[in-house]
Chains A and B, each alone.
Chain A
Amino acid sequence: KAGVTQTPRYLIKTRGQQVTLSCSPISGHRSVSWYQQTPGQGLQFLFEYFSETQRNKGNFPGRFSGRQFSNSRSEMNVSTLELGDSALYLCASSLVGSLDYGYTFGSGTRLTVV
């Protein structure tokens, strides 16, 4: 079966711009979580969606937002980009909103802000 698909794989944006990242989970997975990965901070939780509802949110500013569609695909948006937003953004899907079988991660979107 197809894995978790994230698009685009790479992005270069200018400070002040906004960006939208997309994630298609594994078929049948209804929960989608987003993480930011940087060398200094490691994997930081952004938010989690289940059945189009945000159930959890991490400690990120309001510039970071997301949503989930009825087909479980998810998008995250970052507005007014800052240099510090440069990171690998990982999407992870899981079965039925339970983590008992772990996450399946996508390959990520590498965002560079210049």
Chain B
Amino acid sequence: QQPVQSPQAVILREGEDAVINCSSSKALYSVHWYRQKHGEAPVFLMILLKGGEQKGHEKISASFNEKKQQSSLYLTASQLSYSGTYFCGTEGSGAQKLVFGQGTRLTINP
């Protein structure tokens, strides 16, 4: 089942913070976060694994609540380059595939 993301859209001024949530009704092994800019491919931001391990390569943080099967992506002191659509992708144990949420469109204005 598709995870639910909230909010669907956010408009911020540069320097403000944002939180994007992702909730699943299924037990998860991992949660991925991707950002897609208009006309471009989704880009991997971060993965959160069951058990607390976190892997990523950008200065963006996230959390994973295993009991609630929820993850949150935290964007602090947002920059114009953060604009885009953010997707969470969830993976069940042994699934080897991601099920993506509908996306959250983030607009950062100067």
Q: Which residues of A contact B89 (CB under 8 A)?
A: 43, 103
Q: Which residues of A contact B43 (CB under 8 A)?
A: 105
Contact, CB under 8 Å: B97 / A48:
yes
- Is B91 an interface position by the 8 A CB rule? yes
Shortest beta-carbon distance, A76 to chain B, in Å? 15
Contact, CB under 8 Å: A99 / B91:
yes
A-B pairs with beta carbons under 8 A, tally: 63
* Range, interface on chain B: 20 to 34
Name the CB-closest residue of B to A57.
B97
Known contacts A43-B87, A99-B30, A105 near B42 by CB under 8 Å:
yes
- Is B84 an interface position by the 8 A CB rule? no
- Is A108 an interface position by the 8 A CB rule? yes
Known contacts A42-B102, A42-B103, A43-B87, A99 near B44 by CB under 8 Å:
no
Contact, CB under 8 Å: B91 / A103:
no
Contact, CB under 8 Å: B47 / A45:
no
A99, A102, A108: the one contacting B41 at CB < 8 Å is A108
C-alpha spacing A4/B100, complex, angstroms: 20
Contact, CB under 8 Å: B49 / A100:
yes
Known contacts A48-B97, A104-B44, A107-B41, A99 near B32 by CB under 8 Å:
yes
- Is A63 an interface position by the 8 A CB rule? no
Q: Which residues of A contact B44 (CB under 8 A)?
A: 102-104
Name the CB-closest residue of A to B41.
A105
> B residues near A, CB below 8 A?
2, 30, 32, 34, 40-44, 47, 49, 55, 87, 89, 91, 95-103
> A residues near B, CB below 8 A?
4, 31, 33, 35, 42-43, 45, 48, 50, 55-56, 58, 90, 97-108
